[in-house]
Amino acid sequence: MHGDFHTHKGFATPEGTRRLAVRQAGLAPDFYSEAQGLSLSSLGIGTYLGDHDDGTDRRYADAVKRAVSLGINHIDTAINYRFQRSERSIGLALEELLHAKQVKRDEVFVATKAGFLPFDGAPPRSAVQYLETEIIDKGLARPEEIVSGCHCIAPSYLDAMLKQSLHNLRLDTIDLFYLHNPEQQLAEVERPLFLDRIRAAFRFLEGQVQAGTIRFYGTATWNGYRVAPEDPGHLSLREMAALARDVGGESHHFRFIQAPYNLAMPELYRVPTQESPHGRFPLLHEAVELGVSVVCSASIYQSRLAGGLPQTVSDFLPGLETDAQRALQFVRSAPGVVTALCGMSRVGHVEENCGVARVKRAVAGKIQEMCGH
Q: Return the higher-pLDDT residue of 306 and 260.
A: 260
User: Considering the entire predicted model, what is its pTM?
Assistant: 0.96
User: Residue 273 and residue 230: Cα distance in Å, rounded?
Assistant: 9
* The predicted structure's pLDDT at residue 302: 82
CA angle 63, 175, 76 (to 5 degrees): 30
Q: What is the tens place of the pLDDT at every residue in 129-184? A: 999 999 999 999 999 999 999 999 999 999 999 999 999 999 999 999 999 999 99
Contacts of 80 (CB under 8 A, 6+ apart): 113, 116, 117, 118, 119, 180
Q: What is the tens place of the pLDDT at every residue in 240-250? A: 999 999 999 99
Mind listing the domains of the chain with CATH numbers?
14-370 (3.20.20.100)
Q: Return the higher-pLDDT residue of 121 and 97.
A: 97
* The predicted structure's pLDDT at residue 1: 38
Average pLDDT, the chain: 94
Q: Is the pLDDT of residue 84 over 50?
A: yes
pLDDT band, residue 121 (cuts 50/70/90): confident
* The predicted structure's pLDDT at residue 305: 84
For residues 184-203, give the mean pLDDT.
Answer: 97
* The predicted structure's pLDDT at residue 5: 60
Q: Return the higher-pLDDT residue of 181 and 1.
A: 181
283 in Cβ contact with 313 (< 8 Å)? no
* The predicted structure's pLDDT at residue 174: 98
